[in-house]
Amino acid sequence: MPSLSDDIKDELIPFDKEAAKRIVERLGPSIFQQLPPKARDLVSAIACASPYLSGLAVRYPTNLVDILTLPIDETIALAMQEAWQAADEETSDAQKRGLRQAKARAALCLGIAEAGGAIEVLRAAALWSDFADAACGSALKMAYQSSNVLFNKHRKLLAATECDGQTSSQAQISGPLSDTICGIAVIAMGKHGARELNYSSDIDLVVIYDPEAAIFTQAGLDPASAKTIAVNITKDMIGRLSDQTKDGYVFRTDLRLRPDPGASAAAVSINAAEAYYEAYGQNWERAAYIKARCVAGDPTVGADFLKRLRPFVWRRSLDYAAIEDIHSIKRQIHAAKGGAKIEFHGHDLKTGRGGIREIEFIVQTQQLILGGRDQSLRPRATVKAIAALVDCGALSSETGAALDKSYRYLRRIEHRIQMISDEQTHKIPETKENTERLAFFLGAPSMEIFETELRSVLQYVHTVFSDIFGKEQALSDDAGSLSFTGVDYDTATLATLREMGFVDPNFIADRVKRWHAGEVRSTRSIRARELLTKFTPSLLRALASSDRPDDSFLAFDRFLQRLPGGLQIFSLFINKPQIFDICIRIMTFSPYLGRQLADRTNLIEAMTDASWPRPMGDSNEAAAALELQLGTSVDFEQGINAVRRWAHEAQFEVTAALAVGRAEPDKVGEAYTSIAVRVIEVLLPLAMRETERKHGKIDGNLAIIGLGRLGAVRMSAASDVDLVFVYDCPSDAQSTGPVAIGGPEYFTKLVRRFLTAMTAPTEEGLLYDVDMMLRPSGRAGPAAVSIDAFLKYYASDAWVWERMALIKARVVATDTDFADKINKVLSNIQATAIDEDVLLQGVRDMHARLNKAKPAKSYWDIKSVRGGTADIDFILEFLALKNAQKLRGKPLNRPQDLIQTLGAMSVLSGDEVEALSTADRFLEIILQLQRAAHGADKSDTSADPNNPVARAAPKGALAASIMETLDASTFAALEERFESCLASVKVIFDAHIGGDQ
């Protein structure tokens, strides 16, 4: 056989003549003279271009002489034998050293052979892959030998078996464990599996073990113990390959193509792997397994695993959605179709336009679509697959030949780039000097000619790609690359996300990849993931349109995580894009609503109604729906669940309508309040019936009084309800049940039953938090108080702040006659005069206590900030109590009405009426929008605890909504009006109440 030097065909011109001279000095004249004359100029030229190869030559000069005087195949066989023999060294350090020295021989041989044209690039890649097989097998053998649990006790099981013939030369030189019954199989993926390994590439491995293999079972190991040993052996093997020592490394290894890499161990059991791919396998993983090959370990386990995966990889029939998803693997990478500018300096030969990845995807997608029925389309190697596609008519002979030539051309450049410094890079250098060095290394006459040739090839490949994939609907965004397949972050995708406005594109890409990996319940079905793939670009574009894209994305991510299944929702989004648009707008505006959407998908279904959302205040249809649900309820629990379903849907509709701009913020308070009143009106009879069922009836009545925002008809999203329960019955009244009980006990039980209906958690979630602190005597008082006790308390024992709270009181549920009686009682209490000095001091004390107990969380804490809604309440309640007798019989609970009434009575001046009315409406709109966005979390952003009135302003969609609603052209203009309102309220507060604020 001819030696490597005999096969040299290409003459390289030295890029740096001084460097060419230095290699002679570094090798030494005696060594240089031993080189065949034909090889000396080549070695000198390589030394100018490749610091890595020249370093290997100087470090191993005798290797250099041998390499040039032996046939290439013989040198690689010798390197493989050295790799296997390294496993027989006595120490771990010696074993690692032997592997790395064997790698140096193979790398130097193939680098010189390729550079000199003695071997074609794909033949070199195949031999390099064979060496990688031997290195993996030897490293696995070393790992087994270090595992005393297995190797020392079961040497007979580790005897070598007959080679399965999967590699070209392993059979002649393989050592123990290269293909033995050892229970563990090493599967090579990607270019290693296809025997197309890059010169300076990672090797992608999947390690599979069978816990039922004899080596494990005869050692008495249960599956958990077998897993522990398999994982430890795998980690040991990987370390021996990839650890950086003074002798370098053998191969960088990557295990991320294993099943569920985020959750699985380094080695995966064969059954677990099969189950994963059956349930969650994605089309890009199918494409990856086209090239899979067992390269080390137990061939029986390897063959069994790959056989089990055949139905996953090679489907005999594919529905349209699956084909669409396969095409999307590549369509996501480039949005534009053809004609896009191709850069030269810095262009990525692997993932850039017209690059190696495009050729591979052209081939692999066609293999996946057609290979299920035609086994001839299943070659691992790219050029063999191209030939097969030509033979079956999927590619024309002209296109096939051109793609074959282009693939070899690009791989040749890629190898030269990597030979320069042994770096895993695929990019043309950024600088002119380094690009010229590469051109000389390739034997190109000049950099300009090299650039022209490369651009031509890249443009041709991209044109073919566009012709194939451009016919389908583009799934990427016009902004650029959006690829979420594979295990690595696509750099172009990260750039696209950043350009779209996402602050943390790595997090966004990671979450989307996790969606597609089925890590959330809603994406665990194959069909759901296919649909998700289809609208992901539209989703990202919609989320990016908000002022805070990352927050909007988080809201949708939470939505996906809470969904029990995604197929129906994703189908709805695709078929009804208007619903998708509304949902995204809701989530962009309100994370609070996003959580509700995730918990109750029926809320989304309600949006499909053409009448959604119903006009504010039109509750007849909703009330009828509630009555219908109650009519089918057979017991108390079913009844309260029916009420909760209705209330949640009604509350969501109001909040969602506010979020998407279909409701007026100054009117939603009435809508929220009417929902709460309706709930109370329905639950009270339910509680009564349940109480009567157990205790009979009693001669008496119960009234529910609403206070706070419920009494003021100003409830908001996630408001609680302030309630007081007052009953009236004869003092000697007894219930009619088997065990008679008196009025106080009876109505206490009724109230407790009602509170259970309101607040107890059920499968329909919580309804309202109920606050009863405003009842007579607060926590110390009874749950239900008699009307006589109520009157007596407010006549003699009530604090000033309790009288203030009663300004907003109104009856929200009872029979008509008793409601009239209670309203008269409330009116009389409200009209009872209080000594002005006592009143003023009580109001000031309460204001100070409130400011200390609940200080403003931020400058935009609408309720608590100085001059905010709480101060308006203090002003109105103080003036109402100060002028109690003048206001007798007039409604006091609605702030806007009370402002006008006080103005008509000249208690407030005209300017004060205008200022208070304007500020009250302005602040109420902001508060309603804040609560719609954040629910019970009433502040948009948390403030610095050391500066509780820090300017933590609303941001993003919330700020935009507030500005639009209040007709503010800029946020600065909004803030100016906000400050003006706060200032005017503070002036009025100081004028009427004063005190040390």
- The structure tokens listed for 607 are 């949006």
Please name the residues in contact with 201: beta carbons below 8 A apart, sequence gap of 6 or more.
191, 192, 251, 252, 418, 424
Q: What is the pLDDT of residues 633-656, one digit of tens each?
A: 557 788 888 888 888 888 888 888
How far is CA 337 from each of CA 45, 354, 363, 467, 643, rounded to the nearest angstrom? 41, 12, 19, 9, 54
Q: Which residues of 549-568 are buried (b: 16+ CB within 10 A; e: fewer)?
A: bbbbbbbbbbbbbbbeebbe
pLDDT: is 766 or 806 the higher one?
A: 806
Q: What is the pLDDT of residues 65-96, one digit of tens each?
A: 999 999 999 999 999 999 999 999 999 999 99
- The structure tokens listed for 505 are 């594109």
Residue 957: pLDDT band with limits 50, 70, 90: confident
pLDDT at 330 over 60: no
pLDDT: is 627 or 201 the higher one?
A: 201
Q: What is the pLDDT of residues 965-981, one digit of tens each?
A: 999 999 999 999 999 99
For residues 872 and 985, the answer to whether their CB atoms sit within 8 Å is: yes
pLDDT at 604 over 70: yes
pLDDT at 884 over 90: yes
Give the bridge partners for 399, in sequence order.
Answer: none
- Say what the pLDDT of residue 474 is: 44
- Say what the pLDDT of residue 571 is: 79
Q: What whole-number distance in Å separates Cα of residue 833 and Cα of residue 100?
A: 97
- Number of neighbouring beta carbons within 10 Å of residue 227: 19
Average pLDDT for 903-926:
96
- Number of neighbouring beta carbons within 10 Å of residue 298: 26
How far is CA 438 from each of CA 48, 110, 417, 609, rounded to the nearest angstrom? 10, 17, 7, 65
> What phi and psi values does residue 733 have, to the nearest 5 degrees?
-65, 140
- Say what the pLDDT of residue 160 is: 35
Stretch (H or E) spanning 458: helix 447-469
- Say what the pLDDT of residue 942 is: 40
Residue 247 region by backbone torsions, left for phi larger than 0, else alpha for psi between -120 and 50, else beta: alpha
Q: What whole-number distance in Å separates Cα of residue 308 and Cα of residue 913?
A: 80
Q: What whole-number distance in Å separates Cα of residue 541 and Cα of residue 42?
A: 54
- Say what the pLDDT of residue 134 is: 96
Q: What whole-number distance in Å separates Cα of residue 909 and Cα of residue 333?
A: 67
Residue 565: pLDDT band with limits 50, 70, 90: confident
> What phi and psi values does residue 548 have, to the nearest 5 degrees?
-130, 75
pLDDT at 582 over 60: yes
Give 855's DSSP letter: -
Q: What is the pLDDT of residues 475-522, one digit of tens each?
A: 444 556 777 776 677 777 888 899 888 999 999 998 998 888 778 888
Please name the residues in contact with 910: beta carbons below 8 A apart, sequence gap of 6 or more.
903
Runs of H (alpha helix) within 696-786: 708-711, 743-759
Q: What is the pLDDT of residues 189-212, one digit of tens each?
A: 999 999 999 999 999 999 999 999
Name the average pLDDT for the chain: 86
The burial class, CB within 10 Å (0-12 / 13-18 / 19+), for 393 is exposed
Q: What is the pLDDT of residues 680-708, one digit of tens each?
A: 999 999 999 999 988 999 999 999 999 99
Cis? peptide before 14, omega within 30° of 0: no
Average pLDDT for 168-192:
65
- Say what the pLDDT of residue 637 is: 83
- Say what the pLDDT of residue 140 is: 94
Which residue from 639, 725, 733, 732 is spatially nearest to 695, judged by alpha carbons? 733
- Say what the pLDDT of residue 926 is: 94
User: In the chain, what is the straight-line distance between the N-terminal and C-terminal CA atoms, in Å?
Assistant: 100
Give 808's DSSP letter: G
Least confident of 167-181, 552-566, 578-592, 773-787: 167-181
The burial class, CB within 10 Å (0-12 / 13-18 / 19+), for 523 is buried
For residues 294 and 244, the answer to whether their CB atoms sit within 8 Å is: no
For residues 429 and 450, the answer to whether their CB atoms sit within 8 Å is: no
pLDDT at 677 over 90: yes
The 3-state DSSP class for residue 789 equals helix
Q: What whole-number distance in Å separates Cα of residue 702 and Cα of residue 726?
A: 6
Q: What is the pLDDT of residues 724-742, one digit of tens each?
A: 999 999 999 999 988 889 9
Residue 332: pLDDT band with limits 50, 70, 90: very low
Q: What is the pLDDT of residues 740-756, one digit of tens each?
A: 899 999 999 999 999 99
Q: What is the pLDDT of residues 822-843, one digit of tens each?
A: 999 999 999 999 999 999 999 9
pLDDT at 320 over 80: no
Q: What whole-number distance in Å separates Cα of residue 625 and Cα of residue 227?
A: 57
The 3-state DSSP class for residue 722 equals strand
Write the DSSP assignment of 511-532 as a string of letters: HHHHHHTT-SGGG-SHHHHHHH
Residue 233: pLDDT band with limits 50, 70, 90: very high
Q: What whole-number distance in Å separates Cα of residue 143 and Cα of residue 13?
A: 46
Which residue from 537, 532, 512, 344 is spatially nearest to 430, judged by alpha carbons? 344
In Å, how far from its chain's centre is CA 927? 30
Give the bridge partners for 445, in sequence order.
Answer: none
Least confident of 9-18, 206-215, 608-617: 608-617
Which residue from 814, 812, 819, 787 is spatially nearest to 685, judged by alpha carbons? 814
Q: What whole-number distance in Å separates Cα of residue 28 and Cα of residue 35?
A: 11
- The structure tokens listed for 545 are 């349109």
Residue 944: pLDDT band with limits 50, 70, 90: very low
Average pLDDT for 835-854:
93
Considering only the C-alpha atoms of the chain, give the largest distance between any 2 of them, rounded to a whole number of Å.
Answer: 125
- Say what the pLDDT of residue 136 is: 96
For residues 584 and 551, the answer to whether their CB atoms sit within 8 Å is: no
Least confident of 136-150, 317-331, 375-389, 645-659: 317-331
User: Taking the complete model, does pTM exceed 0.85, yes or no?
Assistant: no
In Å, how far from its chain's centre is CA 684? 44
Residue 337: pLDDT band with limits 50, 70, 90: very low
For residues 869 and 986, the answer to whether their CB atoms sit within 8 Å is: no
Alpha carbons within 13 A on the beta-carbon side of 28: 10
- The structure tokens listed for 555 are 């809201």
- The structure tokens listed for 313 are 């990889």
Q: What share of the chain is helix, strand, coil (3-state, %, to 5)?
A: 60, 5, 35
Which residue from 194, 131, 125, 186 is spatially nearest to 360, judged by alpha carbons? 194
Give the position of tokens 């009828």.
624
pLDDT at 64 over 60: yes
- Say what the pLDDT of residue 352 is: 86
Average pLDDT for 781-810:
93
Q: What whole-number distance in Å separates Cα of residue 233 and Cα of residue 228?
A: 9
pLDDT: is 871 or 602 the higher one?
A: 871
Residue 473: pLDDT band with limits 50, 70, 90: very low
Strands (E), 282-439: 293-297
SS3 per residue for 910-961: HHHHHHHHHHHHHHHHHHHHHHHHHCCCCCCCCCCCCCCCCCCCCCHHHHHH
Average pLDDT for 552-560:
83
Which residue from 641, 613, 672 is spatially nearest to 935, judged by alpha carbons? 672
Q: At what angle do helices 577-589 and 956-965 cross, to 10 degrees?
A: 100
| Strands 770-771 and 721-728, sheet pairing | parallel
Least confident of 332-346, 523-537, 744-758: 332-346
- Say what the pLDDT of residue 476 is: 45
- The structure tokens listed for 189 are 């993926």
The burial class, CB within 10 Å (0-12 / 13-18 / 19+), for 970 is exposed
pLDDT at 586 over 70: yes
Please name the residues in contact with 414: beta carbons below 8 A apart, sequence gap of 6 or more.
198, 199, 349, 350, 356, 426
Q: What whole-number distance in Å separates Cα of residue 559 and Cα of residue 830?
A: 48
- Say what the pLDDT of residue 567 is: 79
- Say what the pLDDT of residue 168 is: 33
- The structure tokens listed for 610 are 């053409």
Q: What whole-number distance in Å separates Cα of residue 616 and Cα of residue 529?
A: 38
pLDDT at 937 over 70: no
The 3-state DSSP class for residue 995 equals coil
Stretch (H or E) spanning 236: helix 223-242
Residue 415: pLDDT band with limits 50, 70, 90: very high
pLDDT: is 263 or 2 the higher one?
A: 2
Which residue from 363, 342, 334 is spatially nearest to 456, judged by alpha carbons? 342
Stretch (H or E) spanning 727: strand 721-728
- Say what the pLDDT of residue 172 is: 31
pLDDT at 882 over 80: yes
How far is CA 13 from each of CA 423, 435, 599, 817, rounded to the nearest angstrom? 23, 15, 70, 109
Stretch (H or E) spanning 493: helix 491-500
pLDDT: is 636 or 451 the higher one?
A: 451
